[in-house]
Structure 1
Amino acid sequence: MINVNETSSGALRRLLKATVAAGLVLAAFSGVANAASNCVKGDRKAPYTIGWANIYSVPTWMKQTEGTITAEVDELKKAGLVKDLMITDAQGNAQTQIQHIQSMIDANVDAIVVIAGSSNALDRVISDACDKGIAIVNFDSLVNTDKVTAKINTDSNEWGGEAAKWLVNQLGGKGKIIVMNGPAGISVSDDRRKGAQPVLDANKGIEIITETNTEYNVAPAQEAMTSLLFANQEIDGVLSLGGALSAGSVLAFDRQGREQVPITGENARQFLELWKEKGLKGWATMQPNWLGALSVYTAVQALEGKSVPAFIKVPLPVIDDSSIDSYLARADKFPADGYIYSDYDKALFDKLLAQ
């Protein structure tokens, strides 16, 4: 005897399973189609409103970076892709930056570009913005959370490691050095220092006699190094992990009548000019100011439905005696206290996004 109810029930269960499975597959494909990049969701259409949540605008590097952001926004406005740019300045206060990002969320901007004033304090508000469907592009100083559309940076660990290797080689693996760091708690500064440590650990002949943290500005760096010079009569090298820091160090040595020592640094115009003028033994690399422009471009690409990498690594150039003249040849295009950065264009940006 056949139980009709049991047979119908089994068939129904099989039908439901098939329907659910098909629905999941369709949902998966739908998700890919509607959200190629993380965070981006909702009915967002060009022209977009972009938020630039700046941690501080005083250092020249930041002013130049903001200049590349506004220039990129102007280009995207011409293309009909951007309507407005909202700019805030937290004046170095991470809590103020959190409030500014919250105001951007409340205004329902389409994208937020941010240099983090703290690697962890911003996590909650950044995650909230992502949940609201806002494209989040974080560059230079990075947050811990991965709830962003993209993070863009050079490799700060590599930055510190390569600088340390050069200095160790210059000193023949033996000597007393001073380490100059940027502000403590800023990820780009902390990561450069972490990257240098394995190299220093592997070369026991290198003695760190002291180290300091200062703003990325020449005046405070010069003041800090002046104090260290009074306290330390024997210094063989300076592991400087920032361009303005290096310029400040060179000026301090000069004004105290101390002999210059091998020094690392960055593409700060003043440092490169002092390097050439005084015949320094120097090495430098570059944190390109156009990371800001690339961040805006990346955010708009994501909003347009393109898939962008979760992390975009920008290669580090090397500035040494063989290449410094090519940078100085372009010096008059940049502020006296600014950074001589390399050229950039859409083709470069597309190449980096294709990683």
Structure 2
Amino acid sequence: MMKPSFFASASALCLGLLLAIGVGFEANAAAKCIKGDRKAPYTIGWANIYSVPTWMKQTQGTIEAEVETLKKQGLVDKLVVTDAQGDANVQIQQIQSMIDSDVDAIILIAGSSTAPARVIADACAKGIAIINFDSLVDTDQVTAKVNTDSSQWGDQAAKFLIDAIGGKGKILILNGPAGVSVSDDRRKGADAELKAHPDVTVLAETNTPYNVAPAQEAVTSLLFANPEIDGILSLGGALSAGAVLALDKQGRDQVPITGENARQFLELWKEKGLKSWATMQPNWLGAFAAYTAVQALEGKDVPAFVKIPLPVIDNSNIDEYLARAKDFPADGYIYSPYDEELFKKLLAQK
């Protein structure tokens, strides 16, 4: 017969092992919102704010491709996709539906920086990995935020344009939709340079969707009202293409212009010999968000914010991008290459 002291010792040992296992798991599940109680294969929700712009379609394409890779690795079972059609309130309802169906992760571009805070906090409390990229939310109740530095984007664009026009002149500023964080932050980022150069006069500004047609229409109206323009500070690629087409249609001389990696803009840049500079919000941020969500669910340490370096496109490398143009939609974005090794390096940043 075993002594009571043996049972006490054995019980203590088992308890110690259980505690050790629990503590060890929690130590591995270091990312926010992660409780360690979810197992692969996972269901990922993609709460899309709108799917119409080609940039969004390309971004969803990278998400779907990454999910297929993760499926082959036995890490993901299903991708659930919603489309709020530009309505932040609808996006909130769709996120709530994902929570109710107990998805394991939600990746999103926020339609509002403030409105989704409550529903996102609810998802986080339930152990759902939340990866927010591109347009960010004003809450830290997420697993990770992923973005380029939009303020740096605006600053670099303004520096290029001001230098290109010799530090003085009349310019137009083209912004994306008001209230969208990436658009607002790019514009704020340009402020310091503009204020430091009082001889640069901002004639007018626009806020339009990131599409060529509305940008061309808006710039056309501004051209009628402003016969003298020395440069255009465009903070979006389709906006730049629209501006170039508007100038062309009115028979106006092209002026220095900043932009983004939109294929149409890059092709116009080359065709017309524009004095330009561009950067990009890589579409593969979507794929990286899906990858990051799974890494967090698997117990990996994930940074609260992952900063994506801004690639620069200028006359020294524009031909490299245009050489790959055929692989992208005519109205799409020629984004930089990516792979899992790049994703690992980005997650390893401190």
- Quote the offset at 1:84 in angstroms: 0.4
- Which of 317, 335, 338 aligns to 1:344? It is 338
Q: How many angstroms apart in 2 are the aligned matches of 1:114 and 1:323?
A: 32
Query: Match of 1:159, as an amino acid?
Result: W
- Aligned residue for 2:53? 59
Letter paired with 1:43: D
What corresponds to 2:180 in structure 1?
Answer: 186
Is the Cα–Cα contact under 8 Å of residues 36 and 297 in structure 2 kept in the other structure? no
Counterpart in 1 of 2:77?
83
1:131 paired to 2:100: no
Any idea what SS the aligned residue of 2:309 has? coil
Give, in angstroms, the shift of residue 333 of structure 1: 0.3
**Structure 2 residue 208 is the aligned partner of structure 1 residue 214:** yes
- CA deviation profile, 1:268-303 (whole Å, cap 9, x unmatched): 000000000011111000110000000000000000
Shift in Å, 1:28: 10
Hey, what's the Cα distance between the residues in 1 that align with 2:24 and 2:320? 50
Q: Quick one: which of 146, 149, 152 aligns to 1:155?
A: 149
Residue 33 of structure 1, CA deviation: 2.0
CA contact (8 A) 1:180 1:211 kept: yes
Number of residues of Structure 1 aligned to a counterpart in Structure 2:
332
Give deviations 1:98-123, integer Å, cap 9, x for gaps.
Answer: 00000000000000000000111111
Check the 8 A contact 2:84/2:91 in 1, yes or no: yes
Cα deviation, residue 36, structure 1? 1.2
Please tell me whether residue 264 in structure 1 is matched to residue 239 in structure 2.
Answer: no
**RMSD over aligned Cα atoms:** 1.5
- CA–CA distance in structure 2, aligned partners of residues 54 and 148 of structure 1: 17
Counterpart selection for 2:299 from 283, 300, 305: 305
TM-score (norm 2): 0.93
| CA distance in structure 1 between the aligned counterparts of 2:342 and 2:29, rounded to whole angstroms | 24
Give the corresponding residue for 2:195: 201
Say which SS state the counterpart of residue 198 (structure 1) adopts: helix
Q: Which amino acid aligns with 1:233?
A: P
CA deviation vs aligned residue, 1:10-67 (integer Å, no higher than 9, x gap): xxxxxxxxxxxx9xx9899568426311001152000000000000000000000000
Q: 1 CA distance for matches of 2:190 and 2:26?
A: 40
For residues 227 and 28 of structure 1, the distance between their equivalents in structure 2, rounded to whole angstroms, comes to: 64
Structure 1 alignment gaps of length 5 or more: 1-21
Q: 2:271 pairs with 264, 268, 277, which one?
A: 277
SS at match of 1:219: helix
Please say if 1:38 is aligned against 2:32. Answer: yes
TM-score (norm 1): 0.91
Is 1:99 the counterpart of 2:98? The answer is no
Query: Equivalent residue for 2:238?
Result: 244
1:39, 1:135 within 8 Å by CA — same for their partners in 2? yes
1:95 aligned counterpart, secondary structure: helix
Q: Distance in 1 between matches of 2:332 and 2:184?
A: 22
CA distance in 2, matches of 1:336, 1:117: 26
Alpha-carbon distance between aligned partners in 2 of 1:41 and 1:111, rounded to the nearest angstrom: 12
Which segments of structure 1 move beyond 6 Å, counting only runs of 4 or more? 25-28
Residue 3 of structure 1 corresponds to which residue in structure 2?
none
Distance 1:284 1:34 in 2: 40
Rounded to whole Å, the distance in 2 between the matches of 1:311 and 1:270 is 32
Identity %: 74
Q: In 1, distance between residues paired with 2:236 and 2:35? A: 38
SS in 1 for 2:245: helix
Q: Is the 8 A contact 1:34 1:41 kept in 2?
A: no
| 1:178 partner SS | strand
In the alignment, is the contact (CA less than 8 A) between 1:253 and 1:260 conserved in 2?
yes
Retained in 1: the 8 A contact 2:28–2:300? Answer: no
Cα distance in 2 for residues equivalent to 1:275 and 1:134: 44
| Separation in 1, partners of 2:221, 2:22 | 61
Match of 1:293 in 2: 287
**Match in the other structure for 1:326:** 320
Give the AA of the match of 1:157.
S
Q: Distance in 2 between matches of 1:33 and 1:192?
A: 37
1:246-274 Cα deviation digits (max 9, x unpaired) = 00000000001111100000000000000
Aligned residue type for 2:309: P
